[in-house]
Structure 1
């Protein structure tokens, strides 16, 4: 019943305001285009240099590891040769080979060398 008690007033229509926005196209000037091209080329050049440096570092690291492996193999080979030299220069072995070839030990001709 409340609705009946209210008076109905005619609604006033408010004029709708339409805002028109014009987009202004901004064109880049020649100087701005040159600066943009310079910045892009500097970024690309920097990226290429970084990738090149990382590739060089990787190849040098691989080369170093290969050289280290070769050094380890050569050290093992040298240790084996030193062991062979110590076995072959054993005085008892030399004496037995000399006796097999008909030589005799003469104490007068023995000289002891000290380093």
Structure 2
């Protein structure tokens, strides 16, 4: 091979040595920083409102259960009071009182026995 042939082949074998500059492409962000801030505030507000609603609902339910229990106790007490009032009427029957008095040896001078009324102040 001659020198000319070598020179002709040499440029073909060597790649271009030009400087390649890397260009950095700035892509536009999908969500900007301000939007992220607004979204975080809005989501925090929604979560706080949800928690408040759940708390309020549970406290309302607890209050309703307490009211129902109080009403049940009141109904039970009223029925007990009615039963006791009926027993008072039965026990204060004049015939019953006369039988107990005669049984214990008491004599009644006047045959009229009256039921005592309620004492009022």
* TM-score with structure 1 setting the length: 0.67
CA RMSD in angstroms, aligned pairs only: 2.6
Among candidates 25, 28, 32, match of residue 29 of structure 2: 25
Partner of 2:49: 46
Task: Name stretches of at least 5 consecutive residues in structure 2 with no aligned partner.
Answer: 1-26
Look at both structures and tell me which one has the larger radius of gyration over its CA atoms. Answer: 2
Equivalent pairs counted in the alignment come to 92
- Asked whether 1:106 is paired with 2:96, we answer no
Q: Matched residues in 1 for 2:47 and 2:109: separation?
A: 85
Between 1 and 2, higher relative CO (CA 8 Å, sep ≥ 6) is seen in: 2
Q: Partner residue of 2:62?
A: 59
Structure 1, unaligned runs of 5 or more:
1-22
Query: TM-score w.r.t. structure 2 length?
Result: 0.64
**1:26 Cα deviation from its structure 2 partner:** 4.0
Residue 114 of structure 1 and its aligned partner are, at CA, apart by: 5.9
Q: How does 1:8-23 map to 2 (within 5 A)?
A: none
Most deviating of 45-54 and 68-77: 68-77
